[in-house]
Amino acid sequence: MPGNTLPGTSFSTITEALTALTDSSCLSCEKQFPAPVSDLPPVIVHIGEGIYREKLIITRPNVTFEGAGADKTILVYGDAAFDLMPEGDKRGTFRTASVRIDTHDFTAKHLTFQNDSGFGHTVGQALAVYVDGDRNAFYDCRFLGSQDTVFDAPLPLKEAQPGGFKGPGEFKPRTIGRHYYENCFIQGDVDFIFGSGIAWFEHCTIYSKLPGDRVPPESPEDEVIYGYVTAASTPMEEPYGYVFHECSLESDCPPHSIYLGRPWREWAKTVFLHCELGAHIHPVGWQDWKKPHGHFYYGEYASYGPGASPATRADFSHQLTDAEAAEYTVKHVMKGWEPQSLM
């Protein structure tokens, strides 16, 4: 059970704890960058061992969720994009999140975020977490899902088709938030880390799960492609998008069946530094999703393992020089924000 949100206070559900914490002065709607620091005092919500089937929305800044262990405290829900809503339309991607973080300075430790609705081809996109706001950090957490597990917000400025952004962020100003993931386990298959945020992944395990319901329709006729690790939509003016540092990319998929990334929008930026790549990574590494070359930026530095193959990588990708790689520090990428490291 969650407890110790306030001295002497305990609750039977996480929803009750969040309701008690709601404050009219919260900053979730102040979309400035960098986000202002709230005057509200930091609060820790201790969440005990158990499975919490609740659809959660966090809007108060300076909140920490602390679980009993990544495999012991599980926050889970099962909404999916193909679900029919009462008005007759489909739920869509951005109304599926099991947990939506719509605030600044949120921290999570030692717990799991999960969407258990099913495989993407069957149920559609299904977010385990929707991370919006600035200076949000995750330590020793698991993110479990299939297609679109982690939405690292905000949304791109324009939708690809009418109604594509239906959900909580559709009409909001965009905050290009900074997000930090350390010692986390992130599982999915198609585009399972995606969005327009600036994110640093430190010592994380990125697991491409074999989808149990299909060969994705994106597969060309001459090969079988089971998924893509990233689908960034970095804004044109931002020099950095997703950075993976000393991460391990693992999978139960066949060899050469997973791409490192493809650009959800044309200015996508994703770089892997000192990462171990499994045999599931395609020798070409990257897919252009029919976006113009010279806009998006995909790079690697000192990749190793059976999936590391610099000689065969897509000609639009980059093998960073020592000098280029040296520019990728947490402080530099995060524009002065240095989240605490627990390692």
Residue at 5 is within a domain: no
How far apart are alpha carbons 246 and 261 in whole angstroms? Answer: 17
Domain containing residue 198: 42-334
H-helix segments, the chain: 14-21, 120-123, 322-326, 330-333
For residue 176, give the 3-state DSSP assignment.
coil
Which among 75, 174, 186, 86 is positioned nearest to 140, based on CA atoms?
Answer: 186
CB 317 within 8 A of CB 300: yes
Residue at 252 is within a domain: yes
- Assigned token pair, 340: 């605490």
DSSP string across 229-243: EEEE---TT-S--EE
pTM value is 0.94
Structural domain count, the chain: 1
Which among 185, 243, 179, 232 is positioned nearest to 209, based on CA atoms?
Answer: 185
How far apart are alpha carbons 87 and 84 in whole angstroms? Answer: 8
CB 286 within 8 A of CB 300: no
Residue at 206 is within a domain: yes
The answer for 289, left when phi > 0, alpha when psi is -120 to 50, beta otherwise, is left
Residue at 227 is within a domain: yes
DSSP-assigned beta bridge partners for residue 56: 99
Candidate list 105, 191, 213, 315, residue with the active-site label: 191
CATH classification of the domain holding 240: 2.160.20.10
Residue at 87 is within a domain: yes
How far apart are alpha carbons 9 and 3 in whole angstroms? Answer: 6
Residue at 186 is within a domain: yes
Residue at 48 is within a domain: yes
**Is 83 considered catalytic here?**
no
For residue 46, give the 3-state DSSP assignment.
strand
For 85-116, letters b (16+ CB in 10 Å) and e give: eeeeeebbbbbbbbbbbbbbbbbbbbbbbbbb
Residue at 12 is within a domain: no
pLDDT of the residue at 23: 54
How far apart are alpha carbons 49 and 19 in whole angstroms? Answer: 21
pLDDT in tens, the chain (343 residues): 443 344 557 899 999 999 988 754 444 445 567 888 888 899 999 999 999 999 999 999 999 999 999 999 999 999 999 999 998 999 999 999 999 999 999 999 999 999 999 999 999 999 999 999 999 999 999 999 999 999 999 999 988 888 899 999 998 888 899 999 999 999 999 999 999 999 999 999 999 999 988 777 677 777 889 999 999 999 999 999 999 999 999 999 999 999 999 999 999 999 999 999 999 999 999 999 999 999 999 999 999 999 999 999 999 999 999 999 999 999 999 999 999 988 7
Name 145's Cβ contacts closer than 8 Å, sequence gap at least 6: 114, 115, 126, 127, 128, 187, 188, 192
